[in-house]
Amino acid sequence: MLVKGKKNMAENIITIRENLVGGNKTLSKVTDDVLGVMERKPTKLWWFGFIIALTALGTGFIAVVYQVRTGIGTWGLNKTVGWAFDITNFVFWVGIGHAGTLISAILFLFRQKWRTSINRSAEAMTIFAVMCAGIFPLIHMGRPWLAHWALPYPNFRGPLWVNFRSPLAWDVFAISTYLIISAVFWYIGMIPDLATVRDRVTNKFKKFIFNFLSLGWDGSSRTWHRYETVYGLLAGLATPLVVSVHTIVSFDFATSSIPGWHTTTFPPYFVSGAVFSGFAMVLTLMLIARKTLKLEDYITRKHVDNMTKVIILTGGIVTLSYATEFFMAWYSGNGYEQFVFINRALGPFAWAYWIMLSINLIVPQFFWFKKLRRNLIIVFILSLFINVGMWFERFVIIVTSLHRDFLPSSWAMYKPSIIEIGTLVGSFGLFFTLFLLFIRFMPMISIGEIKSVLHYKGSHGGKK
């Protein structure tokens, strides 16, 4: 009896396992479906999104030109709050990028096959988000045309080298390495699919472009063999890299002696917050892409389900970090530290603190319920909320810790200027413009990887 029950259970497990790709696809159907997006005329919804994104980008462009010409005085900063909006946006965008690498590298190492439909676009998201992030410190330099001074190279200014003891110098290395490795990882992953496009297009110009980009890929199994090795190595390199990047970003704060920043919990706190916000952004983008490009068979409910579960986990870590910060402020017995945290919750920026806390604490809890996880409209709205909540987290950490100085006569308030808001809008414009162009002109789903998991269920069910 018991044995029979066990057997039934095993059968059930096999039938419960959902296919990673919906519909009964053949190999060439996958090619058609994914590349069809590039071959069809864009939908009205795409144009609608693109025009909005382009408008936002234009707004940002005007704001950037104005502040570079006029100077950083156009911002709402003052002597006390010397870091505010731009660094908030910087940390926000870097954080967004982290989910892409998590999906492409960490889930690859854990052999999570469901990542195949979303890894390509998540990686693209990473690259665009890091580009958006890079804009802010560049502008903050005041003279962005001297940005290369942040790199160590022999020069006639001394030679004046960069200070390697400064976390800001570490940041330069971390962010640029992250951008380069992510871009390479993304491009290497795309080569076989670019070859598929090359062999499919008839337009001479397109053929030339894709022939150029696909590097002469011919599908040789010897090349595939090496390619797989390199892909695994890059995933192995990108995994500690992504953890290091937000750790180093958190060092920008943690190595200072400002109450509210000076804590050892910052690295794990920032990394989990980054994954939390990044997954929310991946969800936002994937739900849009899925709907507008009709890719429901590829980006399935299972993907959404899995991503919401990651959000529950990382949201929990973030909430734990909030609690830890408060506990440590009390436990440290340090009056300045205690003041900062009471001031965060009850001071002039309490509104921002409570927006952050209520969103980041409560919103992920909705995902415990399967009914809500399966309702894509609700998931979409909740993902937007998390994006907002995590933006406020950075704002709260940065501004509330600064606006009350050690010296009460230096206390000040901060309000972003219209130029700063314009720049933030512009960064969203850049992000969405690039993303919409990407899903239009490049294979946004990894065709090769999807094909390799097409029989995934079958191979586990004992059928070949």
Partner 1 sequence: MKKYFIATFDNEFDLKEATVEYRENKLKIMDAFTPYAVHGLDEAMGLKPSRLTKLCFLFGFTGFILALVGQYWISAVNWPINIGGKPWNSLPAFLPVIFEVTVLFAGLGTVFSLLVISRLRPGKVPKQFSTRVTDDHFLMVLSDKKGVLNEKLAESISIKHNALKWKLEGESE
Radius of gyration in angstroms for the set of CA atoms belonging to the chain, rounded to a whole number: 24
Q: Are 428 and 388 in contact (CB under 8 A)?
A: no
- Note whether 170 binds partner 1 by CB under 8 A: yes
Instruction: Say whether 157 sits in a helix, a strand or coil.
Output: coil
Q: Is 24 in the site for partner 1 (CB under 8 A)?
A: no
Counting contacts by CB under 8 A, is residue 28 touching partner 1? yes
Applying CB under 8 A, which of residues 147, 150, 188, 350 lies at the interface with partner 1? Answer: 188
To partner 1, the closest distance from the beta carbon of 73 in angstroms equals 28
Judged by CB under 8 A, the residue of 6, 7, 40, 226 near partner 1 is 226
Cβ at position 211, least distance to partner 1 in Å: 6
The answer to whether residue 211 forms part of the interface with partner 1 (CB under 8 A) is yes
Structure tokens at 87: 């660094």
> Any contact of residue 180 with partner 1 (CB under 8 A)?
yes
User: What is the DSSP-derived secondary structure letter of residue 42?
Assistant: P
What tokens does 222 get?
């010897």
244 binds partner 1 (CB under 8 A): yes
CB 257, CB 77: distance < 8 Å: no
Among 5, 158, 333, 462, which residue sits at the site for partner 1 (rule: CB under 8 A)?
158
Can residue 352 be called a binding residue for partner 1 (CB under 8 A)? no
Residue 25 CB, shortest distance to partner 1, in Å, is: 11
Q: Which of 233, 346, 412, 418 binds partner 1 (CB under 8 A)?
A: 233
Closest to partner 1 by CB, 211 or 334:
211
Nearer to partner 1, 134 or 315 (CB): 134
Angle between helices 301-332 and 266-292 (to 10 degrees): 160
| C-alpha pair distances (Å), 442 with each of 193, 305, 342, 447 | 9, 26, 50, 11
Judged by beta carbon, residue 18 or residue 228, the one nearer partner 1 is 228
Amino acid at 215: L
Q: How many CB atoms lie within 10 A of CB 241?
A: 18
**Residue choice 48, 110, 161, 441 for contact with partner 1 (CB under 8 A):** 161
Minimum distance from CB of 50 to partner 1 (Å)? 29
215: left (phi over 0), alpha (psi -120 to 50) or beta: left
Among 160, 342, 346, 413, binds partner 1 (CB under 8 A): 160
Tokens read off for 179: 């951008």
Closest among 165, 78, 86 to 412, alpha carbons compared: 78
Candidates 42, 58, 76, 152; binder of partner 1 (CB under 8 A) is 152
Dihedral, 434, 437, 438, 441 alpha carbons, nearest 10: -160
Tell me if 10 contacts partner 1 by CB under 8 A: no
DSSP at 259:
T
- Rounded Cα distance between 363 and 177, Å, is 33
Residue among 241, 282, 310, 363 that touches partner 1 (CB under 8 A): 241
Nearest-5° Cα angle at 108, 102 to 111? 130
Check residue 159 for interaction with partner 1 (CB under 8 A): yes
* Chain contacts with partner 1 (rule: CB under 8 A): 26-28, 31, 152, 158-161, 163-165, 167, 169-170, 173-174, 177, 180-181, 184-185, 188, 191-192, 195-196, 198-200, 211-213, 215-230, 233-234, 237-238, 240-241, 244, 248, 251, 448-449, 451-452, 464
